[in-house]
Structure 1
């Protein structure tokens, strides 16, 4: 038996209720994606949430209570066939914290990264130019089925007339070769915790990645909260990009104009605040794992 001390005990009725509400919520969020997948249709905005982020809808739908919770009742024993679940001293089933920590060394990196980002002010004003830098001076754009709103030459002019200041490695690594020297920073995986900051759209989208990488220690409700924020940010990311998504019902945020820049910064500020709340909730999970 494990020795994890849980803070919450859930009855079978509570477990069933939370699992059902979670499944209904995920079903509503993923229904369109699953329909398109069955029809062989692609979506330039939402496919990203299931390709770049590799958690399958069925995995997202599976409910986990998270660290610090014991599941009571006979039905909870079915969880013992799942990885990282164990019987708790005193009865009930919950997270096997020692086994989880041994198998998830990424916890240390995630905790350091989230703590570092949370300690910094939000820097606004990058205007989503990372997407433009990914299409700079190339005919091989990442979304070939979507037209460029200003064409290739217009896209290049926007890049050349702005200061590119992308701090996020997983955006920078997709820059075209001609665009890389134009960036004021040279992010690497090793410097991610030094450079990521709460105003960065990608740093806030990645809260979803860190949440599911720490499943089942992270409560599934928090994973879906992060998914929903990531989905909203992804929509802005593409609306502010050089691509014309009006065919998909998305009006552009024209960051090449003063009005577009102001609108982008307002969205960015809102996402930074909401991301900060989720980041603290994820850090609380990390701390509880350490304490357990």
Structure 2
């Protein structure tokens, strides 16, 4: 779902402000966005001249990634400042298969719980108000006009809101894009939340995942909608804490931010 490879996720980084010595330092000499401490820096830390010690290279990182740092900061702060919306009920996944032939489904290897006609009826009987561009861009042509909002890459910084499952999943994206400035423990916390959100996202989708071990959250019913919102609120609370940690980690990298 995201572009970070498993091997990259498994590679540990201590984050900015940490000095590594010994074998961990030797293994990272030459790694991108790390630098080796000079003798003066070694002496200030009480380390012998000629010792191998490495740390995050803030200067080179910002030279390469300033735009990404700035944009991530804008998204994180803007999302946190907006009120959370809990009335979407996961209908973005339904809009992605609206009036589609079964051979054209986004996940063609899965069955629709209600069939094509039943799925279309759910879309037509509910209010659709998706604020997340990376969900909206996969809507079928017939579903686009049914969405009450028109999210785009250009207005993303103004549309993201903290109740959105996909905005909260994307904390993982912003975290790994900012490695090695962030500690891997924070990236992994974001990954684990994203994993759980995605599972719930698909449980509320029109697909039948019973055989995969994921019982449906039947958002076409009142009870299903209530269950969806309960999960959504819990994830939003977890995401708020992680969003704050990400913003705090970004702060030293953005002394003069461009809006």
TM-score after normalising by structure 1: 0.80
Q: Distance in 2 between matches of 1:210 and 1:64?
A: 15
Match of 2:250 in 1: 286
- 1:84-141: CA deviations, max 9, x gaps? 0012461231110010011112111000000000111211010000000000001111
Instruction: Provide Cα deviations, 1:36-87, integer angstroms capped at 9, x if missing partner.
Output: xxxxxxxxxxxxxxxx201111110000001121113364133121000012
Structure 1 counterpart of 2:192, from 200, 221, 228: 228
Matched, 1:158 2:115: no
Match 1:70 to one of 19, 35, 42? 19
Residue of structure 2 aligned with 1:125, choices 87, 107, 111:
87
Q: Following the alignment from structure 2 to structure 1, what is the Cα–Cα distance between the partners of residues 254 and 70?
A: 10
CA distance in 2 between partners of 1:151 and 1:291 (Å): 53
Gapped runs of 5+ residues in structure 1? 1-51
Offset of residue 285 of structure 1: 1.4
8 A Cα contact 1:67 1:289, kept in partner: no
- In structure 2, runs of 5+ residues without a counterpart are 43-52
For residues 4-19 of structure 1, what are the structure 2 equivalents within 5 Å?
none
1:55-134 alignment to 2 at 5 Å? 55-73=4-22, 75-88=24-37, 90-91=41-42, 92-104=53-65, 105-134=67-96
Deviation (angstroms), 1:193: 1.0
Question: How far, CA to CA, are the matches of 2:224 and 2:25 in structure 1?
Answer: 52
Q: For 2:234, which of 222, 247, 270 is the aligned residue?
A: 270
Cα 1:74–1:224 change in 2 (3 A) is closer
Partner Cα distance (2:17, 2:252) in 1: 7
Q: Distance in 2 between matches of 1:77 and 1:137?
A: 57
Q: Distance in 1 between matches of 2:229 and 2:244?
A: 22
